Structure 1
């Protein structure tokens, strides 16, 4: 039997870890059925996390022709920014506004929900 158990072999529900108390050792328990598995050795699990690749919402030139508005850049405090609005949530939610600083040395992107 594997030591790194996640699911009950009887009913396939997620197992809970019950901490040691008194003379009882730490164990896996099923909250649905009477399944119990005592943990006899230290369980170590290493999981490599893979960063999700994020696609840009706008291409590099998309904001070049966008309209400008009075907005303060959070990075350089310039008072003008390009903006675009996109509906990224459900229709009953407000649109999200994306900004890009007009300062050529900054070009910081931010959004306002």
Structure 2
């Protein structure tokens, strides 16, 4: 299982974690949504549950549920600022297609 976080994404995640003492980590996974099938989920994990795995990536605890794990294996998480917009960007080798906005993806 490999998930990579760029320095920019790591810094942003650390900022979120610093603002929420006691958080279990950053939840990363997927949910069924969007025009292509799956959408990414990035949120603070207040706790871990059954079926969650905690991966330490560049010192950031990532909480990934067992169902998402095979869909996000190999993903590189980046954080980009463009003008007034800022967002996480995902480079997922498992994605076989994406919607036009890049918010959702399909797997083959």
* TM-score, scaled relative to structure 1: 0.23
More relative contact order, 1 or 2 (CA 8 Å, 6+ apart): 2
Structure with bigger helix share is 2
Structure with bigger strand share is 2
Instruction: Decide which structure has the larger Cα Rg and report it.
Output: 1
